[in-house]
Amino acid sequence: MHPEKKVDVAILGGGLAGNLVARQLRRTLPDVSIAIFEKDVERGFKVGESSVEIASNFFIRKLGLSTYMYDEQLAKNGLRFFFDTPEKNAHLFEMSEVGSNKLPMFPTFQIDRARFEADLLEMNRADAVDVQVGVTVRDLELKSGTDEARTHRHAFTVEAPDGARTRYAARWVIDASGRRQLISNQRELRVREPHGCGAVWGRFTGITDMDGLSERGGAGERPWPGADAWKARARHTARVLSTNHFCYRGYWIWFIPIARGVTSLGVVGEVFEPWMRTEEGFWKFLREHRAVASLIEKAEMLDVGHYARYTYGTKQFWDGAERWAMIGEAAAFSDPFYSPGSDYISIESDMITDMIRRDFEGESDADLAERSRLYDEFMRFRYEATMKLYREQYPVLGSFETMRLKWNFDISCYYNLWLDFFLRDHHLDLRKVREQLRRKEYVLNALENFRQLFGRLVRELEVSGNYHRANLGQYNDGTDLLHFQDEIGRERKKGGVNARTEEIFNFCLTEARRILGETGGAPLDLHQFMEPVQLA
């Protein structure tokens, strides 16, 4: 065993979460010693390639990665949803569609995770972060209680590839170990989540370019009658750059470009038979869907992976007074639909960095403990609010009518409440955080009311045989309620935010009543949505 070494901040894991928080810490605290300990030598393929607005803003505004993201990754063209017949035999051009006809106002990206993580490791190494790869962290000892003396009291052993071991002492420990969950397992923090979906995925080459489809064919490609009108429907925007979802009752299929001719393709759903998790079974399942099959005619699969069950929560994200934290999948994971994973990492990194900065600037343990408690409660509230979008909602996905409404509800609430809050750094303002937490019960009530409303829509449409009635020939650009997006991130009064929220809620209630064939019904005041109630 080599003599003990000291480091101010030890980051256990050098994947996306570990690298991002290391970069933010280095930019915030140039004189603090930081070390990353990563088990894998090579940066392999990982799912989670799609970023949305909060994460993308974090990359650009907080981490200074704007030029890098546009030079080395792909600009994303929003989320896009396609809908099919019960027999799964609709031609691509027949499918109803929800998706933009122009690039979004706020930047987002499709990310080659392996390259991004490798590049971030090199950036961090160049910024004097001690980056160690191919090492294994063992015998982690986290000390409990406060530490007014601010000593390096947490300890762990690092085993090098040659078997040599070094004992480390750290003032702060950040667990970024992903699903290994070093701290969570040690402290029994993981919470089982009833939302029991699984996933299977792979990387493919040779996927048909849906933006390059031609009426005439040519260059070895078959003709696609109707291609010109289909491309014109979305004003010739780049559909390939979207996260494309083929939606079915209980599951969805994704297509995500990750640069250099490689596409990530996967299936997420409520029930997975074991045969679907094999390469042969995955191919078979994909080919059962006509539109999907038409895009993979010449494709080759590079690899395949799966999760039998991917969602879990946590009892606690961190303890600022004890000086440990968990970030990314080391803490919790909700669902890949809407790609919220990197949003969570971004908010967590902001809060962790803020606590560490305050610690090194001499903030008292009592104040640090209170900030940590509020940040932790906010993150658990954020997780619970996110799960309201997914629990028992997968039956909503396969109907154009229900999914169009759910998407417009979800994206407008995301912009009005969560994105705006992040862009104005309100998540780092304890006054604003307390204000949010005082409203927690009401927000969760409203989300639960709409969750139940969308479930009722599905049941009524299925009973009447109308679940698929609008799944062919319809188009919606997905921005029914985003006329206010220019306000997002600018100074707004609370009354203005509440007015937008009431507008969103009443729009969706009115549309739900229309789908159900219920005439009349007055708009509701905002407070009426915030109590447990059956909306329609």
Q: Is pLDDT of 294 > 90? A: yes
DSSP class of 34: E
Please state the separation of Cα 261 from the chain's center in Å: 24
pLDDT in tens, 140-182: 999 988 766 678 899 999 999 999 999 999 999 999 999 999 9
Average pLDDT, the chain: 96
**pLDDT tens digit string along 332-387?**
999 999 999 999 999 999 999 999 999 999 999 999 999 999 999 999 999 999 99
CATH class of 1-46+112-192+313-391: alpha beta
Lowest mean pLDDT segment, chosen from 39-43, 111-115, 505-509: 39-43
Residue whose structure tokens are 């094999």? 278
Question: In the numeric block, which tokens belong to residue 350?
Answer: 């902001």
Q: How far apart are CA 449 and CA 438, in angstroms?
A: 19
According to DSSP, residue 472 is labeled: B
Query: Are the CB atoms for 323 and 171 separated by under 8 Å?
Result: yes
Domain with CATH 3.30.9 in the chain: 74-110+198-307
State yes or no: pLDDT of 308 exceeds 80.
Answer: yes
pLDDT at 266: 97
Q: What is the mean pLDDT of residues 4-15?
A: 97
Q: Using the CB atoms, write b or e for 439-450: b if 16+ within 10 Å.
A: ebeebbebbebb
Looking at the chain, the whole-number percentage of residues with pLDDT higher than 90 is 91
Report residue 44's pLDDT band, with 50, 70 and 90 as the boundaries: confident
* Dist CA 137 CA 144 (whole Å): 20
For the residues 310-339, what does the mean pLDDT come to?
Answer: 97
Range name among 211-225, 485-499, 503-517 with the lowest pLDDT average: 211-225
What is the CA 369 to chain-centroid distance, rounded? 28
For residues 332-347, one letter each, b for 16 or more C-beta atoms within 10 angstroms of the residue's C-beta and e for the rest, the string is bbbbbbbbbbbbbbbb
Asked if 192 and 30 touch (Cβ cutoff 8 Å), the reply is: no
Amino acid 1: pLDDT: 60
Answer whether residue 2 shows pLDDT above 70. Answer: no
CATH code: domain 74-110+198-307 is 3.30.9
The pLDDT-based confidence of 196 (bands split at 50, 70, 90) is confident
Give the pLDDT mean for 36-42.
Answer: 93
Q: Are strands 243-248 and 79-83 parallel, antiparallel or unpaired?
A: parallel
Average pLDDT over residues 425-441: 98
Amino acid symbol at 378: F
Q: How far apart are CA 365 and CA 355, in angstroms?
A: 11
CA dihedral 355, 358, 362, 367 (to 10 degrees): -60
Q: Where in the chain is the domain with CATH 3.50.50.60?
A: 1-46+112-192+313-391
- pTM higher than 0.85: yes
Cβ-Cβ contacts under 8 Å for 520 (sequence gap 6 or more) = none
pLDDT of 225? 93
